[in-house]
Chains A and B, each alone.
Chain A
């Protein structure tokens, strides 16, 4: 499959510049996301303190020169914890979205192309999932299956898989009758190649835009799980868990404990949503707002 690129040419950089010009929203969102990726990658270099070290004499200190964003109820450095929290946010969202895409995309391809029982089952599954608010569902399942990191990732991934399936299915439905798909069959392509070489590259756009939005969702869900106490447990530097702890101090005036991880969370979720929306707008000329 990979050697299909053999005849391909053109530079990735020129395309990136074109994206910035034609899809400013996507580009801005992408920049925010990339910023957080860099933060996550270089977390040990960026954080002035050990995120798990409790400065027991400096509990609940406001922002200062030593603790830039203050300390929390355990005397841990909030800035360092937020920086390390980015690692955890990606560490959960990335594999979760990967699980969702790896299950959902092939399912959507097959269901859309073949129709029949698989398609019917997929649609029913979608209906069932639509009945439950997905965050509540994730909460219930994680609470029931245990709070390990692996479980959190799998649950978020599994709940999200049908959404990828649905997006891909819709695109495949539109493509199924295309001449090039019939031509691919006529040329003697096996089903696997029809799906993954011919349909997938033409049906993936929507799923990619959806992917960014699902990232935002995964990060929100893992934070929500931690916030209500069924997700990642403190003192692990997880944004949701940090906000939960900070919420207790909100009333007593120590606003910085909850505010800063909250800002980080909102910013990253916002970045992913902008990226997703921007890509979607860019892909769909009818919704394209910015002039070329």
Chain B
């Protein structure tokens, strides 16, 4: 693997006071190589967004190590962290809300240049125009205020703003989920172009499996704030190792109406993140749970080129699709 832009070990974040602690992120390990796109998937409440924000220290992690471009991010003081943001940017889910309504979109795209470069006014203006073309927006739009633009245009502005300083990493938190389907394709196309042309590493956070499959080189599947499976997108989608991944993928609709899949319908409750079980977090809903699963927490173990956190990997009985119909019918 190429040199990693981002390495995360044991990332943990809890919320709340001493008596009721919500465990949002529980010991997440991640690595993103230069130019690579990592997809973070999971249900709502799985800690996707919290992880994204912790990675950029928009939310302070409770524990764990974040090494960004060779530097320990958590050791940086406020000013050093602010400067480091030139290399790590973020695109948010809601393009309407994430742009200051009082500034023109031109000013908003220009802002990172103002903050992180020594370019003078005309040079910045030229770069803003270049960025506008890069995200397929006309320069005439730059003098408008966010309220005058459509959601798709605004998200393009957010992306232009995020790539203005040529960052090494951009975290995209559900960048397309608040957009119309017709607009979504254009944004995904743009992201693919940026990845190809600029070689920016991306973390793509989404609950939409089809989108993640399309844009990601590798995926990490989250369940209750911890990674249950991670590996190359292709491998994970075609041969899901963790029962949760298998259930997630089987729940996603296929574009082929004739295709008949065996759906894995999960029963049971998601444990409360306030009161996490001692064993595997997925045990309460797992169709192939064993007694030991409720006692012992599985760790991420390498299995070929994927890493899976399931106790049944040890004796090879973890794959849902290959198990007997009686078991998967649950």
Evaluate whether A6 and B107 lie within 8 angstroms (CB atoms) in the complex, with A183-B99, A188-B82, A202-B102 already known: yes
Counting contact residues on chain A (CB < 8 A from B), the size range is 20 to 34
Q: Show the binding face of A for B, using Cβ within 8 Å.
A: 3-4, 6-9, 178-180, 182-190, 193, 197-198, 201-202
Please tell me the number of chain B residues within 8 Å of chain A, measured between CB atoms. Answer: 32
Task: Report chain B residues within 8 Å CB of A179.
Answer: 92, 94, 97-98
Partner of A182, one of B58, B85, B107, B116: B58
Task: Report chain B residues within 8 Å CB of A193.
Answer: 115
Is A180 a contact of B101 with CB atoms below 8 Å? yes
Q: Which residue of A lies closest to B171 (CB)?
A: A186
Task: Report chain A residues within 8 Å CB of B98.
Answer: 179-180, 182-183
Is A7 a contact of B115 with CB atoms below 8 Å? no
User: 10 tightest A-B contacts by CB?
Assistant: A188-B85, A7-B104, A179-B97, A201-B102, A179-B98, A7-B106, A183-B98, A186-B90, A7-B143, A180-B100
Q: Does B86 contact A (CB under 8 A)?
A: yes
Is B58 a contact of A186 with CB atoms below 8 Å? yes
Q: Does B71 contact A (CB under 8 A)?
A: no
Task: Report chain A residues within 8 Å CB of B121.
Answer: 3, 6
Is A188 a contact of B116 with CB atoms below 8 Å? yes
Evaluate whether A185 and B115 lie within 8 angstroms (CB atoms) in the complex, with A3-B121, A4-B107 already known: no
Task: Report chain A residues within 8 Å CB of B104.
Answer: 7-8
Q: Show the binding face of B for A, using Cβ within 8 Å.
A: 53, 56, 58, 79, 82-83, 85-86, 89-90, 92, 94, 97-107, 111-112, 115-116, 121, 142-143, 158, 161
Closest Cβ–Cβ distance, residue B45 to chain A (whole Å) = 19
Partner of B101, one of A9, A197, A202: A202
A-B CB contact pairs (8 Å), 23 listed:
A3-B121, A4-B103, A6-B107, A6-B121, A7-B142, A179-B94, A179-B98, A180-B99, A180-B100, A182-B53, A182-B58, A183-B98, A184-B100, A186-B56, A186-B89, A187-B85, A187-B112, A188-B82, A188-B86, A188-B112, A190-B82, A201-B103, A202-B102
Evaluate whether A187 and B115 lie within 8 angstroms (CB atoms) in the complex, with A7-B106, A7-B107, A8-B143 already known: yes
Evaluate whether A183 and B92 lie within 8 angstroms (CB atoms) in the complex, with A7-B142, A188-B116 already known: yes
Task: Report chain A residues within 8 Å CB of B101.
Answer: 180, 202
